[in-house]
Structure 1
Amino acid sequence: MIKAAIFDMDGLLIDSERIIMQACISAAQQVGITYTQADYVELIGRAGPDSTRIMTAQLGDTERFNLVMQGLDAQLASLNNTFPLKPGARALLQHYQAHDIICSVASSSASHHITQRLSQVGVSNYFQHITSGQEVERGKPNPDIYLLAIYKLGLPAEACIAFEDSEMGARAAIAAGLKVVVVPDLIQPSDFVREHCHQVVTTLDDWLKLIG
């Protein structure tokens, strides 16, 4: 019996990945650098240090990385760093709350980004625990962040279900022994993830219909 649900945030609960990707591409263009969606998807689901290392290599050097990041920060600041909820997110959280299923977040994002983004869309009160990529040495696809989230819940892995949009995140949750529901955002799951996850659905609404 499922007693807890562990959610990724960016691209799963919050529709942020697409907006950040377009801002990255635009910021690069403004300083004469070509950056593509194919480049960006390599970062999805990864912890900050891993994303920085990969993006620096993609752009060529630290100076170019810093230029793009300055432009990205400016564009996101103009949006007040606010991103909309994904379809079905609030309804699923309400459903789990009504059925006494504990909800938590396991996100590679920094803890202040997690609390800010969840608060801005009015869903922070649904979560009993938040686990950020800053709390573990190894980011997704390593299982560490999910193992820590499970530890905080005080439950066995088989009593928890995880929700992920990315390849790296799904692999991390699978490696932690969790039942995993994948809701693809910018990229479709690999054959490995499809074979080892519990279900692939188009939206969180679709999952709610399955369990409702």
Structure 2
Amino acid sequence: MSKQELVEESQARLRDVFPIAALRPGAEKLILHLRKHNIPFAVTTSSESPSFEMETNRHKELFGLFHHVVLGNDPKVKSCKPDAAVFLACAKRFSPPPPVEECLVFEDAPNAVEAALATGRQVVMVPDGNLSRDLTRKATLVLSSLQDFQPQLFRLHPYE
């Protein structure tokens, strides 16, 4: 199979999976909690517009609660994760931009954790269960699920 055929096959699989993608357990609770307490939050992803729209289509209302979204094809982002540029571009879009020490990043991939840490942010990692624990050591906190997140550990309002 040619490289182009492999890419097309992969894209076809994503088109089948993305529209039925579920949120991670605990994600909706966290988003609603942050919104309720007026804590600004955003999405940064290496995904480009078409993939992101397919992946989030079932959850438009929830994603509408985010302050902003920075995608991989954003003109202000010259390179994506593992480069830290996407996190820096994201932070600049808050008004005013928050101090670095007040930013908390949620990630699932080791290279994205490293990129966020390179900007001085704290990182809560929620990795795939099959990922080697050696690849999670750099994160500020590693959780099996977002359901286990305790906001007060990061000076945020605790869940009610």
Alignment RMSD: 2.2
Please list, as runs of the form range in 1=range in 2, the aligned pairs for 1:141-152 lying within 5 A after superposition: 141-152=82-93
Pair 1:161 & 2:104 matched = yes
Gaps (5+ residues) in structure 1?
1-30, 32-63
Which residue is 1:138 aligned to?
Answer: 79
Greater share of helix residues, 1 or 2? Answer: 1
Structure 1 residue 119: Cα displacement: 3.3
Contact 2:123/2:141 (CA < 8 Å) preserved in 1? Answer: yes
Aligned residues: 148
Structure 1 residue 103: Cα displacement: 1.5
Structure 1 residue 79: Cα displacement: 4.4
Please list, as runs of the form range in 1=range in 2, the aligned pairs for 1:1-212 lying within 5 A after superposition: 31=1, 64-79=2-17, 81-122=19-60, 123-135=62-74, 136-153=77-94, 154-185=97-128, 186-188=130-132, 190=134, 194-195=137-138, 197-208=139-150, 211-212=158-159
Percent identity, aligned pairs only? 28
Contact 2:18/2:55 (CA < 8 Å) preserved in 1? Answer: no
Inter-partner Cα distance in structure 1 for 2:25 and 2:55: 16
Structure 1 residue 69: Cα displacement: 1.8
Structure 1 residue 188: Cα displacement: 3.8
Structure 1 residue 80: Cα displacement: 6.2
Q: TM-score, normalised by structure 1?
A: 0.62
Cα separation, partners in 2 of 1:199 and 1:115, compared to 1, 3 Å: same
SS of 1:130 mapped into structure 2: strand
Q: TM-score, normalised by structure 2?
A: 0.80
